Amino acid sequence: MTTLRLNANSPADIALAAQLLRAGELVAIPTETVYGLAANALDPAAVAKIFAAKGRPQDNPLIVHVADVSQALPLVKGFPFTAQRLADVFWPGPLTFIVYRAEEVPDIVSAGLSTLALRVPAHPAAQALLRAAKIPLAAPSANRSGSPSPTLASHALYDLNGKIAAVLDAGPCVVGVESTVLDLTRETPCLLRPGGVSVEQLEAVLGQTIEISPAVAHAIENDAPTPSPGMKYRHYAPCGELTLVHGPLQAFIAYAKQEKPDGLLVFDGDMIPYDMPLLRYGDSPEAQAKRLFARLREIDDLGWRRVLVRCPAKEGLGLAVYNRLLRAASYREVRL
């Protein structure tokens, strides 16, 4: 199949993308977090194509994207009051709720779970597409399973060219890490994946502390039961071996001199000896989130086999950056 390259600024291209989706095809679409690989969420055959194109394990459920709360309601068994309060503040935006699933949503979307992940994306092209298609869109990140999520249309094409009908190009994603996944089926909301909306922001609106799933900062055994199946899989991983290094810059440099890795992934402001190959991924959590996944892909392009990474701060959006790096590093951490 030839993958069409469509332009998100063209109303005709949005209309064509909507038509392809309604016809059961796959289209990689921009969102404010990362590019998603979309299919009609109400068409099990179309959703099955997502798993095939990505090489995604069948037990890893998908997020369903809708234009607004009213389009979400027929898909769920009740929309909890907490969801309504958070939606008022954070939707459209990078926040995903886990709620109970209505019968109309095919099993394959939630990998057989009784729950459903729901999000209203803020990206104007995603909004325009959802309104043109008039169907809910199931969409995981548009990468091959296990690779870093795509923050450019070219990343999605690199992974999926020839396997999907089209890519809708809207340039770089502004957030750069995926949405926050919050389980609202329990008494206390529980963070399953840190993302574009921070724990601090959620707690400020709710006026209560939320639970943080242990999987956010720790490895989960492959056969252990997890509230979010996606958390047990190898993720975001470049081919090279990353090690996440905690500690001050001088100690990091001394450690790098001793270890002699192929390259370093450091902050913008870090003063590093000139003979050490490096990539920079920003100073603020926002800048780091925006650049991280593209840098992980560059590490592969450069062919680096061993990479030392300066560990980001874990506050605000930093928790999402840390969580993705930890997975990319297969939980290899060093404290200096």
Binding site for ligand TXA (CB under 6 A): 31, 33-34, 36, 60-63, 94, 96, 98, 110, 113, 115-117, 119, 139-141, 178-179, 181, 192-193, 227-231
Contact criterion met (CB below 8 Å) for 100 and 77:
yes
How near is the Cβ of 287 to Mg ion at its closest, in Å? 21
Query: Is 94 or 263 the residue whose CB approaches ligand TXA more closely?
Result: 94
Query: Is 182 or 256 the residue whose CB approaches ligand TXA more closely?
Result: 182
Tell me the residue length of the chain. Answer: 336
Nearest residue to Mg ion, using CB? 141
DSSP track, 237-255: --SSEEEEEES-HHHHHHH
Query: Is 57 or 80 the residue whose CB approaches Mg ion more closely?
Result: 57
Q: Within 13 Å of residue 243, how many CA atoms lie on the same side as its CB?
A: 19
Q: Is residue 141 a contact point for Mg ion (CB under 5 A)?
A: yes
Query: Is 82 or 110 the residue whose CB approaches ligand TXA more closely?
Result: 110
Closest among 242, 295, 236, 302 to 267, alpha carbons compared: 295
- How many other C-beta atoms lie within 10 A of the C-beta of residue 3? 18
DSSP track, 23-89: TT--EEE--SSS-EEEEETT-HHHHHHHHHHHT--TTS--EEE-SSHHHHGGGBS---HHHHHHHHH
Query: Is 82 or 228 the residue whose CB approaches ligand TXA more closely?
Result: 228
Partner touching 179 among ligand TXA, Mg ion, none, CB below 5 to 8 Å by kind = ligand TXA
Q: Which residues face 307 on adjacent strands? A: 242, 263
How near is the Cβ of 251 to Mg ion at its closest, in Å? 33
How near is the Cβ of 141 to Mg ion at its closest, in Å? 3
How near is the Cβ of 13 to ligand TXA at its closest, in Å? 19
Tell me the pairing of strands 190-193 and 180-183.
antiparallel
How near is the Cβ of 169 to Mg ion at its closest, in Å? 19
Partner touching 147 among Mg ion, ligand TXA, none, CB below 5 to 8 Å by kind = none
How near is the Cβ of 332 to ligand TXA at its closest, in Å? 21
Q: Is residue 151 a contact point for Mg ion (CB under 5 A)?
A: no
Q: What is the three-class DSSP state of 149?
A: coil
For residue 42 the two structure tokens come to 């109400």
Query: Is 141 or 151 the residue whose CB approaches Mg ion more closely?
Result: 141
Residues in the site for Mg ion, rule: CB under 5 A?
Answer: 141
